[in-house]
Structure 1
């Protein structure tokens, strides 16, 4: 890889689009298993962790086996790790999603893991109905895979820093494998009414009020990569606000606050800018949707906190 891991690379959607489409389909195979786990509001349990090598499911537990699926972008393979053994499926040679799915199910079966509960491809507008129907031959692009992992890793670091001081319910930062976006979401205990006429999984995501900040590689209708933010339910009064970073904007048609990657990578401290952007999104929720301001704790590094006893402890003789 030509760029340093600490540099923020240029992301051109048109160059990455084939791999975005490939990986969006690929990670749904392992991701489907998370639907068997205890439901967490807003589907917070389904996200894939951004690892030092790629994207990994949480530990999954069937009746007789515990396992995880690691989609290793930097190694061009998928590793199924279980207490019964492990299997590695190569992605370096051209194959279809249908062929991969069949090979995955055979390998998983050898470890005592049943197939995913659903073969349906979801949240991809132009996708075939199911894994078995997607017979298009897809080539692995090593450079694009490295760029995608690098972008996800850098964005995750910023989002984890932003998310850390929130005192309410907050699932871990990770990739939502349906829409293939990196998400950091904050909830509060306020039931909301999902919009009617939408699929059940979308209605489940709207059961509680939330503020979400994340990263997307873009898409055919909005090809620019970058950070996004939104508030559910969407409040009035978002026009004309500042979003914490010069170049961040409010897009009323999309209902999103946007911080383009092209702007972010030119800043002196992009990671800090992600936190400033997220703070501005949350502050908008406080001022326009009556979100509590007292759910934000101190933002400090862990070593500093460990050397600073709580005030109550310091007051004891």
Structure 2
């Protein structure tokens, strides 16, 4: 069996930044619907989206006496809204402003009898613009939207393989629409000290010690797609530990390990290189933080 996937398409940030920024807002609209329809789970696990066979989706959400799921389909380039009882609606994914998308989205919800109230102000972005007023973000390149999804498919595949050896508490592999990244998180089982200056979202997310890894496309000013890994709280000396592969390393500005996506593409086997990054960063953080690895890991 080959150890390398034939996927892993090129994803240069400068080629699709405008599309990514628009798609980020669209996913927040759908994500806030999931937030409104689902009960709180630990660490906000009730709010992310999930990689699907065609894109990103909510999974089934309780909706009155029915269930509702919403999916970004990056093969047909439509947003699908489906009731478990049969009725459905959709709108095309194409170049259009966030305000236009939001208006059409609300019409779709209304046509299905979905009564939900969401906060129209984006989160976790600088200078947010209300969804209904945002005519700035209006790009959609279907080629790059599909490439992004294909990267998420392969990243999820490796993240899930990485998780098979961990017996402790571990999150699903899920897509956080606030930060626009795919993530998976391991827990030591110990409560974490309070984070200085943390808001309610962070207090819930980081209530316990974690080691997390993920992928994000370069938004937030970073400007390049990358895999990341971090520990919270950060154990002393973590930034001085050598990790694998050699192209990966500690980013002092971000306070986490970074393996740029272009460096992954340059590897002989991207799958193997990504697994090395996930494994070596976890081991470094777990050892320095004195996690009980003999109990938490499959021997």
Shorter-chain TM-score above 0.5:
yes
With 217-226 and 73-82 compared, the bigger mean Cα shift is at 217-226
Write out per-residue CA displacement over residues 169-222 of structure 1, whole angstroms, 9 at most, x where no aligned residue: 222112111000010111232222332433321222111111101001113532
User: Could you tell me how far apart the structure 2 residues matched to 1:268 and 1:59 are?
Assistant: 39
User: Could you tell me how far apart the structure 2 residues matched to 1:44 and 1:91 are?
Assistant: 26
With 202-211 and 137-146 compared, the bigger mean Cα shift is at 137-146
The residue aligned with 2:264 is: 264
SS at match of 1:67: strand
Asked whether 1:89 is paired with 2:104, we answer: no
Superposition deviation, residue 246 in structure 1 = 1.6
The residue aligned with 1:56 is: 57
Superposition deviation, residue 65 in structure 1 = 2.4
User: TM-score if structure 2 supplies the norm length?
Assistant: 0.91
Write out per-residue CA displacement over residues 256-309 of structure 1, whole angstroms, 9 at most, x where no aligned residue: 1011111111222212222221111211122211112121226xxxxxxxxxxx
SS at match of 1:69: strand
User: TM-score if structure 1 supplies the norm length?
Assistant: 0.86
1 or 2 for the larger relative contact order (CA 8 Å, sep ≥6)?
2
The residue aligned with 1:67 is: 68
Superposition deviation, residue 35 in structure 1 = 2.1
The residue aligned with 1:111 is: 112
Structure 1, unaligned runs of 5 or more: 299-317
The residue aligned with 1:165 is: 165
* Larger-gyration structure (1/2): 1
Matches within 5 A, 1:1-317: 6-36=6-36, 37-84=38-85, 85-92=87-94, 94-128=95-129, 130-136=130-136, 138-219=138-219, 221-294=221-294, 295-297=296-298
User: Could you tell me how far apart the structure 2 residues matched to 1:209 and 1:216 are?
Assistant: 22
User: Could you tell me how far apart the structure 1 residues matched to 2:240 and 2:197 are?
Assistant: 31
| Contact 2:49 2:174 (C-alpha < 8 Å) held by counterparts | yes
User: Could you tell me how far apart the structure 1 residues matched to 2:289 and 2:220 are?
Assistant: 32
| Contact 1:67 1:81 (C-alpha < 8 Å) held by counterparts | yes
Residue 216 and residue 265 in structure 1: after superposition, are their counterparts in 2 closer, same or farther (change >3 A)? Answer: same
C-alpha RMSD of matched pairs (Å): 1.8
| Contact 2:184 2:213 (C-alpha < 8 Å) held by counterparts | yes
Write out per-residue CA displacement over residues 153-178 of structure 1, whole angstroms, 9 at most, x where no aligned residue: 12111111112222122221121110
SS at match of 1:42: helix
User: Could you tell me how far apart the structure 1 residues matched to 2:221 and 2:275 are?
Assistant: 27
Write out per-residue CA displacement over residues 71-102 of structure 1, whole angstroms, 9 at most, x where no aligned residue: 1122221000112411011122x322122112
SS at match of 1:45: coil
User: Could you tell me how far apart the structure 1 residues matched to 2:212 and 2:41 are?
Assistant: 15
| Contact 2:187 2:209 (C-alpha < 8 Å) held by counterparts | yes
Query: Alignment length, in residue pairs?
Result: 292
Superposition deviation, residue 247 in structure 1 = 0.7
SS at match of 1:157: helix
Superposition deviation, residue 63 in structure 1 = 2.7
User: Could you tell me how far apart the structure 1 residues matched to 2:89 and 2:48 are?
Assistant: 22
User: Could you tell me how far apart the structure 2 residues matched to 1:139 and 1:16 are?
Assistant: 9
Superposition deviation, residue 116 in structure 1 = 4.1
Residue 247 and residue 67 in structure 1: after superposition, are their counterparts in 2 closer, same or farther (change >3 A)? Answer: same
SS at match of 1:150: helix
